[in-house]
Structure 1
Amino acid sequence: MGRIIAIANQKGGVGKTTTAINLSACLADKGKKVLAVDMDPQGNMTSGLGLDKEFLEKTVYDMIIGESDIEEVLQKETMENLDVLPTNIDLSAAEIELIDVENKEFIVRNSIQKIRDNYDFVIIDCPPSLSMLTINAMTTADSVLVPIQCEYYALEGLSQLIHTVELVKDRLNPDLEIEGVVFTMYDARTNLSLQVVENVKDNLQQNIYKTIIPRNIRLAEAPSYGMPINQYDPKSAGSESYMRLADEVISKGL
């Protein structure tokens, strides 16, 4: 049965979508069957994996409002071993449309349950807010992976996110765990990055991944070519880091 990991942090600009794209692609590169689910109306995971979000016939939005079955939305073999449930800006309307819907917190879970056995991993990119879309991702997931940028305000908002995970665990998904924290945008030239890592390790009673994702120009360029880093520049520091993170994620489930 596929392991479902939601990648969440309500703070924007922390490398959340970059992590979702590249972890999905690197797991697939290692021979794992992966489903990437874009739950962020910005659709950056969709375009970062090579799909044109402006010309999608069916998206996660159609699935959520019940107009399409998950199989109709599924983009198969976007890359080898990697299928995608794509999204575009239409998804931003889903919040309003779901206001009066019963059990709206479980719509995505109910759809993904139908196909989760086809995959080793399901990676969900959440929006940078604690919205109904994020709640849907968390009721679907087994665990939440939290990217944290190595900067001064790294811990700000993290306690709120952990509180949300605990609430979802108490009320909606008793099996939900925090997968762990992964540091992103690490700059070895600054003392600040090192201080942030030490500070978080001292203050956070959570699993912290050993792999740290560096600030890397190739990582920043890759999405504009619609490619994950392991395809865009497999020898870059960014690619090697996400490959190591994929190994850690795989071994954590063994």
Structure 2
Amino acid sequence: MAITGGDGLSRVDDRRSLIRNTLANMACLLLGTTATAMLVRWELSLGWDYVAAATLTLSFIFGFVIYFLPSHPHRDFGYANFVTAFRASLVSLTAATVLCFETLHQADAILWILVGVVVLALSLDGMDGYLARKYRQESKLGARFDMEVDAFLILILSVAAATLQKAGAWVLLIGLMRYAFVAASWFIAALGADLPSSFRRKAVCVTQVSTLCLILVPAVDIPVSNYLAALSLAMLTVSFAIDIVFLLRNRVAA
């Protein structure tokens, strides 16, 4: 059935504008990420798997955004989401480095560069929220996008900590805990409910990234790195426990 009327046409135009704007932003960032990965590959004599890993990782993240794009209420992708997408680009390059650089534990210079990239990504973490509020572009998509990029960064950093033997394999629990929570929500409906905004949750997230980033510093080694990872895991466990109890109590009350 044809859509008639000014409001209907306006909504269609808004959707088309959003799709065009989003794809244009993502294409630029994907191209820039691939070009950067190729430059790094040439400088460090890495294999093409490095370029493929960075490009495919970012493509997967952007695919997640496109999947949820129909629920986005704004006409444009927005400055805030662009910053988050840029952080996703940095995280993708980080992931490729951790997964494809076979002698990472022997390359202090690369580790320092990796730490610098993570610090940059972390420093931009609060900017997307600020821009969303300033330009009134807040949305569930933006919040979810930001959360998923943070979660993936934490997973990659925990893999790096384990790979560098800065802590035992148990350090992977830091990165996997959020995904285990999501998986549990598929079987326990109460865990899939929305959680209220929490400063505690944001602070714990920043602490995870900061601590794991510190662990990667070449000068930080066992047992200090072990203690830091254990403290980080304990904080994360307590935070998730608080949220789980809150959700289960709300379900019982309902």
TM-score normalised to structure 2 length:
0.24
Greater helix share, structure number: 2
Query: Which one has a bigger Cα radius of gyration?
Result: 2
TM-score normalised to structure 1 length:
0.24
Greater strand share, structure number: 1
